[in-house]
Amino acid sequence: MRKATRDRLVLPLLIPLGALLIIAIPVIGFSRILLSLSVRENVSLLALPSFARAGFESKRRHYLVRPLDGAVAVPRHAYKLRPVRREDLGAAAQIIHRSHQGSLDAALNLTYATPALCRSFVETLVLRAGCGRFDPEASLVAEGSNGLVGVLLASQLSTTNGHICQVSVLRDEQSRGLGTVLVTSALAGFRRQGLTSASLSVTLENERAYRLYRTLGFRLRKEFAAHAWVRPPARIELPA
């Protein structure tokens, strides 16, 4: 089937999807909906006005991919990096929660709303293969002078692809190069295991993270939209 034909078939179904969800919510009893659409980019983005009319906040996200065909240089640094251990999961959840407070991703994604939800998210990634098979060799915590200050959780989506599920750095340590150290160390871990590509996803408006990933060689593979809805009178408060 030609792409244009597929789009004409999918779009009429996708455009009213937001409204249909709102109709169903009082019956189901949900107070919040998070939705990412994995369809052709132009179809997903054309549906944005429909979701907006249904009360959703929508943001564009990019799925980025980087080949692992060359050596990965990890910058010199003063942090102590080590693999994530089971006893680190609580501290990792705290880092993720604190680093996301007031952020765009936290406004859209309930995962980052509380330490308890972040803990559940971390356990899903590490213990329950919530985003591919957890990769202990590429998953790291960073220790500073006062304890853990950064975390990166990684998985394997296939026998050739390593995926960076989450990277978080405490606010006081941001803009000091730790994000670069964590990501490049994870890439090196993927290469040691013989993987040939790495991937991650990022909200387009998270400009600092996006610049970092571009600098480290990640390039766009797919654009999609993430949608969030809360039951009125609650509102999603996006950062200025």
pLDDT digits (tens, 9 = 90+) for 181-233: 999 999 999 999 999 999 999 999 899 999 999 999 999 999 988 777 766 65
**pLDDT score for 27:** 41
**pLDDT score for 106:** 81
Give the fold, CATH level 3, of 80-195.
Answer: Aminopeptidase (3.40.630)
- pLDDT band of residue 49 (cuts 50, 70, 90) is confident
- pLDDT band of residue 3 (cuts 50, 70, 90) is very low
User: By C-alpha distance, which of 159, 167, 154 is closest to 206?
Assistant: 167
Q: What torsion do the CA atoms of 38, 43, 46, 52 make, to the nearest 10 degrees?
A: -30
Query: Rounded distance, CA 228 to CA 215, Å?
Result: 29
- pLDDT band of residue 38 (cuts 50, 70, 90) is low
Helix residue ranges, H only, the chain: 3-14, 17-28, 41-46, 48-53, 89-100, 104-108, 115-127, 178-192, 207-215
Instruction: Report whether 154 contacts 126 (CB < 8 A).
Output: no
35 or 22, greater pLDDT: 35
- 104-127 average pLDDT score: 90
Q: Which of 67-81, 138-152, 192-206, 223-237 has the lowest mean pLDDT?
A: 223-237
**pLDDT score for 188:** 98
Helix axes 89-100, 115-127, angle to 10 degrees: 130
Q: What is the DSSP string of 136-164?
A: TTT-EEEEETTEEEEEEEEEESSSSEEEE
